[in-house]
Amino acid sequence: MRYADLMLKRDKGDLAALLEGFAEFWKAIPKVERPSGSTATLANDVLSYRSKLDGLAPEELALLWRSVDWLLRDVAKLDPKSMVEEERVVRDPNALVPGRYWILPPGKFFPCDDHVAFAEERQNTFVDVLGLDGWQFLRAKHSGGNRLIPLLLEHGAAIAMIGKEAGMKVAGFQCSQVAVPWLKAKALRLPIPRVWVRVWTPGNAYNGWGSGLLFILKRGGRQEVV
């Protein structure tokens, strides 16, 4: 489906995903660095509708969609079409099969057999998305030991494992504090009953999946207070 058709359809789930994506971008900008004037007014007005979509008329939804589309493209420099596609993956209970994944902001899942090997093969993607210096990546890659994963976590990427325990689908994530806001929002929307995340602090030793503080986000389908 073309993005223009998505806009005409105006699926509220898609629109909610775009609003959340822009909200995460807007919150990450220090207030003194945010755009001012009419752009700031439009951004604040659009964000005020995040919890009001059900009460909007079709004409209001159309205007809101056009507004958030412009903010994402011209202010946040994000691709609304990709964001809609990624959100549909999150909402599809059959999309994320058991296995390993990288997740890059603002929440795109990349399936892989081995986290390190995949990152090495997609060096340009990780460097561009995370704003890394290419030499940083190469030094971590060739330094020996597991240095590459913590470097990428430190700069906002996350890793995931999806599997089954006692017949119930479970998703585990690992990230640094940089990725927590968008990753938590994304993880809670997954149609998976058990979800946990380990938050690793850069500067601490990194020893694989056991590194970081453990937080249970969902237990048996019930959201936990974190």
How is the chain split into domains, by residue range? 3-87, 93-223
Tens-place pLDDT, residues 152-187: 999 999 999 999 877 788 999 999 999 998 888 888
Contacts of 138 by beta carbon, 8 Å cutoff, 6+ apart: none
| 71 vs 20, residue with greater confidence | 71
In degrees and rounded to multiples of 5, residue 179 shows phi and psi of -95, -5
pLDDT > 70 in the chain, percent: 88
| Longest Cα separation, the chain | 58
Residue 3: what pLDDT? 47
Both tokens of 153, joined, read 């976590």
Tens-place pLDDT, residues 66-85: 999 899 888 888 788 877 77
Distance CA 69, CA 79 (A): 9
Distance CA 173, CA 160 (A): 4
- Nearest 5°: the CA angle 86, 164, 182 is 30
* Residue 117's pLDDT band (cuts 50, 70, 90): very high
